[in-house]
């Protein structure tokens, strides 16, 4: 899936563009097919890279959605999810009504405003879908259909314009809050596509190294003992193979981290401990001619 906008990403992350395996099997069974028919066109299953890329992007967006409070998740689903339910719309309606500030208005106006909140969500849904927002006539008609109270369009500017503006503003604010973590995912992923810029090299690589160093420091003693015991139990032939792998590993590690191994050795305790054990084992088998490990 492409990450173009937060609204588009929310929808596509919850949308499956192809039939499930069981759905395809049920369709074939309904047509009486057994196995493959000569000349039949079958959907390709070879685009595994594209499929994995879609699942990665969708997973990141779904994880961002999951970080929202539950009411905001339902609010976003009501607006953007292709599988939105009545529960999503009901909770979104309640969230708007509980968030909007209508103090100072009469109880009768607040009763009408309750249904205007639902109309505002539907109007906002139309706008984000590329259609026109609801005007006063449409809102008044909706309130009368749902609540049975006639609202005068003639006196809209005097009686209802401020209330409608407050509700619409609340919907916009909740929409922005719901889309914020999804927008952050899009920004983060967009940085990976800038020519000559790799986010992994600028940010994630350093962060991952720090986290790995912290995790290893907490279990360093046990890890070193376990490595020593495993190597001690090896025969000389097995150790020779391990030495060969360590040489390749060390060369790749130094090539990747360079001077950082000297400037911040606390990040590289795993590597340093492995090198120390490498020379211990070389001494054990009598091969102590120093070569670059």
Q: What is the pLDDT of residues 59-83, one digit of tens each?
A: 888 999 999 999 999 999 999 998 8
Token pair in block for residue 144: 């009368």
Instruction: Quote the percentage of the chain above a pLDDT of 70.
Output: 81
Give a yes or no: residue 31 inside a domain. Answer: no
In 3D space, the residue among 141, 135, 143 whose CA is nearest the CA of residue 113 turns out to be 143
pLDDT grade, residue 155 (50/70/90)?
confident
Domain end, chosen from 146, 180, 214, is at 180
Domain end, chosen from 152, 180, 208, is at 180
Q: For residue 59, what pLDDT is reported?
A: 86
Residues 268 and 240 in one domain: yes
Give a yes or no: residue 88 inside a domain. Answer: yes
pLDDT grade, residue 121 (50/70/90)?
very high
Q: Is 258 left (phi over 0), alpha (psi -120 to 50) or beta?
A: left
Query: Measured between alpha carbons, how far is 268 from 203 in angstroms, rounded to an integer?
Result: 17
The mean of the pLDDT values for the chain is 83
- Digit-coded pLDDT (tens) for 240-276: 999 999 999 999 998 888 888 888 888 899 999 999 9
| Number of domains composing the chain | 2
Domain end, chosen from 130, 151, 180, is at 180
Give a yes or no: residue 277 inside a domain. Answer: yes
Average pLDDT over residues 24-41: 62
Residues 159 and 126 in one domain: yes
Predicted model pTM: 0.58
Average pLDDT over residues 84-95: 93
pLDDT grade, residue 12 (50/70/90)?
confident
pLDDT(102) > 90? no
With H, G, I as helix, E, B as strand and everything else as coil, classify residue 174: helix
pLDDT grade, residue 141 (50/70/90)?
very high
Query: Measured between alpha carbons, how far is 159 from 147 in angstroms, rounded to an integer?
Result: 18
- Digit-coded pLDDT (tens) for 164-191: 999 999 999 999 999 999 988 888 777 6
Q: For residue 221, what pLDDT is reported?
A: 92
Give a yes or no: residue 54 inside a domain. Answer: no
Residues 160 and 82 in one domain: yes
Residues 148 and 203 in one domain: no
CB 9 within 8 A of CB 186: yes
Domain range enclosing 93: 71-180
Give a yes or no: residue 51 inside a domain. Answer: no
Please compute Rg for the chain using Cα positions.
31
Q: For residue 292, what pLDDT is reported?
A: 47
Higher pLDDT, 171 or 192: 171
Give a yes or no: residue 18 inside a domain. Answer: no
Average pLDDT over residues 1-6: 78
Give a yes or no: residue 2 inside a domain. Answer: no
């Amino acid at each position: 899936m492409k990450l173009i906008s937060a609204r588009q990403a929310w929808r596509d992350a919850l949308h499956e563009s192809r039939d499930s395996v069981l759905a395809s099997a049920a369709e074939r069974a309904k047509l009486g097919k057994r196995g493959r028919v000569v000349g039949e066109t079958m959907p390709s299953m070879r685009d595994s890279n594209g499929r994995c890329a879609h699942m990665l992007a969708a997973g990141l967006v779904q994880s961002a959605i999951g970080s929202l409070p539950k009411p905001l998740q339902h609010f976003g689903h009501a607006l953007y999810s292709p599988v939105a339910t009545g529960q999503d719309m009901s909770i979104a309606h309640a969230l708007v009504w509980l968030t909007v500030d209508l103090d100072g208005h009469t109880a009768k106006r607040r009763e009408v405003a309750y249904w205007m909140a639902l109309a505002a969500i539907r109007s906002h849904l139309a706008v984000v879908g590329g259609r026109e927002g609801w005007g006063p006539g449409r809102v008044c008609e909706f309130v009368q259909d749902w609540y049975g109270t006639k609202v005068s369009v003639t006196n809209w500017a005097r009686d209802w314009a401020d209330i409608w503006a407050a509700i619409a503003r609340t919907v916009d604010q909740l929409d922005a809050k719901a889309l914020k973590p999804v927008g952050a995912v899009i920004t983060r992923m967009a940085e990976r596509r800038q020519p000559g810029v790799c986010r992994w090299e600028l940010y994630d690589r350093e962060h991952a190294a720090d986290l790995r160093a912290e995790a290893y420091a907490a279990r360093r003693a046990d890890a070193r003992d376990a490595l020593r015991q495993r190597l001690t139990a090896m025969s000389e032939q097995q150790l020779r193979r391990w030495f060969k792998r360590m040489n390749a590993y060390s060369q790749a590690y130094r090539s990747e981290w360079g001077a950082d191994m000297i400037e911040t050795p606390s990040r590289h305790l795993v590597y340093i401990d492995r090198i120390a054990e490498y020379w211990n084992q070389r001494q054990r088998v009598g091969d102590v001619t120093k070569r670059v490990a």
